[in-house]
């Protein structure tokens, strides 16, 4: 048995390594074909999505902070902003993971450095988990708003949303940060969760949490869809005031945002996750993974990131207040308001002229 020592930064002392006992490259085992030839194509598929997603989410986040949506808007905008920040953080924490996985320099750097490797795995976990949690929170909020509008009005405040968001981030971070103290990292092994996770962590913490959250997101959105249908039928059966109608339409548009965001997440997450489970099946059987399956898995790495581009576009297209906040950031909100004021003053002028003419005739 070989023992490995690390310095204060977690970097392995290379003079104490027994290379003969180092782990094999678990996912990329293939005796004839070289997966590294696909690395440039993988990065080419991922980085445009990360770049566009970072720009879109940064614009959306700045627009929210420059507007009154967070301080005076509906509480749901706190949750939309949380989703934006989650996507923005995902764009940043994905960078180290990509460099350590798909560049030769990165792989050489990380193979003997424990803390940076575990930090990269923790970062990618927090990025994805925070997105799923953010969708779960906004789904619960919308379900509460549709099924119990009066209770929602009094109980779901901006402060309540901020507290719930803070708790969710603490839980997500704690779940992944435990890997700093509980891990199975080995030198020269791939810097991936499959290698870093202890078996019991994967079986009893990571996988149950992931699939329970995804299952809840799907289940609650189905219930939300049923609640929306029932609410629409009730609205048609009563004579609702114009104000109530506008409010309900606004709520339903935000529900549409949830449905679209969840749909994008599922469509983009399922393929890569399914391929990953197939690879895990081969590993458990002690067999080399088919090369085509490896290529498909790595090339679909970019799919789960599509949501970081789609989400800000969904907010912009489906929510007028989000759209106004973004347009205002670029100075494109003044003209319509000025025209509206002029039209109102012209109407008042014509009204008073009409009254004056009538008085003169009398």
Asked if the structure places residue 196 within a domain, the reply is yes
Coil, helix or strand at residue 63: helix
**What digits encode the pLDDT tens for the residues 216-270?**
999 999 999 999 888 888 777 765 555 455 556 666 778 889 999 999 999 999 9
Asked if the structure places residue 145 within a domain, the reply is yes
pLDDT beyond 70 at 308 = yes
Q: How does DSSP assign 107-122, residue by residue?
A: HHHHTTBHHHHHHHHH
Q: What is the dihedral of CA 295, 297, 300, 302, to 10 degrees?
A: -100
Task: Report pLDDT for 92.
Answer: 93
With CA atoms as reference, report the closest residue to 264 among 224, 226, 301, 314: 314
Asked if the structure places residue 241 within a domain, the reply is yes
Total number of domains in the chain: 1
Place of tokens 């048609």: 236
Asked if the structure places residue 52 within a domain, the reply is yes
With CA atoms as reference, report the closest residue to 251 among 335, 152, 328: 152
Which residues make Cβ contacts (< 8 Å) with residue 317, sequence separation at least 6?
A: 323
Place of tokens 């004579």: 239
Asked if the structure places residue 358 within a domain, the reply is no
Asked if the structure places residue 30 within a domain, the reply is no
Asked if the structure places residue 5 within a domain, the reply is no
Residue 8: how many CA atoms within 13 Å on its side-chain side?
0
* CATH number of the domain where residue 132 is located: 1.20.1070.10
State both tokens at 277.
């489970």
pTM listed for this prediction? 0.80
**What digits encode the pLDDT tens for the residues 49-102?**
999 999 999 999 999 999 999 988 899 999 999 999 999 999 999 999 899 989
Asked if the structure places residue 28 within a domain, the reply is no
Domain interval for residue 65: 35-330
d(C-alpha 309, C-alpha 52), whole Å: 6
């Amino acid at each position: 048995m070989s023992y490995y020592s690390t310095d204060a930064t977690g970097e392995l002392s290379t003079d104490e390594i027994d290379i003969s006992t180092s782990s094999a490259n678990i996912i990329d085992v293939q005796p004839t074909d070289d997966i590294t030839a696909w690395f440039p194509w993988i990065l080419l598929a991922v980085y445009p999505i990360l770049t566009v997603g970072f720009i879109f989410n940064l614009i959306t986040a700045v627009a929210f902070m420059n507007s009154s949506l967070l301080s005076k808007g509906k509480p749901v905008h706190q949750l939309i902003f949380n989703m934006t920040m989650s996507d923005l953080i995902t764009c940043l924490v994905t960078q180290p993971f990509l460099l350590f996985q798909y560049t030769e320099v990165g792989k050489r750097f990380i193979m003997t450095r424990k803390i940076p490797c575990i930090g990269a795995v923790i970062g990618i976990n927090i990025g994805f988990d925070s997105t799923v949690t953010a969708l779960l929170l906004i789904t619960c909020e919308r379900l509460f708003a549709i099924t119990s509008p009066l209770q929602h009005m009094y109980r779901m405040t901006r402060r309540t949303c901020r507290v719930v968001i803070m708790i969710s981030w603490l839980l997500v971070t704690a779940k992944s940060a435990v890997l700093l103290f509980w891990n199975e990292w080995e030198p020269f092994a791939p810097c991936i969760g499959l290698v870093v996770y202890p078996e019991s962590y994967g079986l009893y913490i990571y996988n149950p949490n992931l699939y329970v959250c995804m299952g809840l997101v799907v289940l609650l959105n189905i219930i939300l869809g049923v609640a929306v249908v029932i609410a629409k039928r009730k609205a048609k059966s009563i004579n609702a005031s114009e104000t109530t109608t506008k409010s309900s339409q606004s709520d339903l548009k935000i529900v549409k945002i949830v449905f679209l965001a969840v749909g994008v997440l599922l469509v983009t997450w399922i393929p890569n996750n399914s391929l990953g489970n197939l690879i895990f099946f081969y590993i458990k059987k002690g067999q080399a993974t088919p090369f085509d399956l490896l290529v498909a898995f790595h090339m679909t790495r970019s799919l789960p990131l599509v949501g970081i581009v789609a989400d800000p576009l969904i907010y912009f297209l489906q929510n007028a207040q989000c759209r106004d906040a973004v347009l205002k950031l670029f100075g494109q909100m003044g003209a319509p308001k000025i025209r509206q004021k002029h039209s109102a003053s012209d109407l008042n002028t014509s009204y008073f002229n009409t009254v004056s003419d009538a008085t003169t005739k009398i």
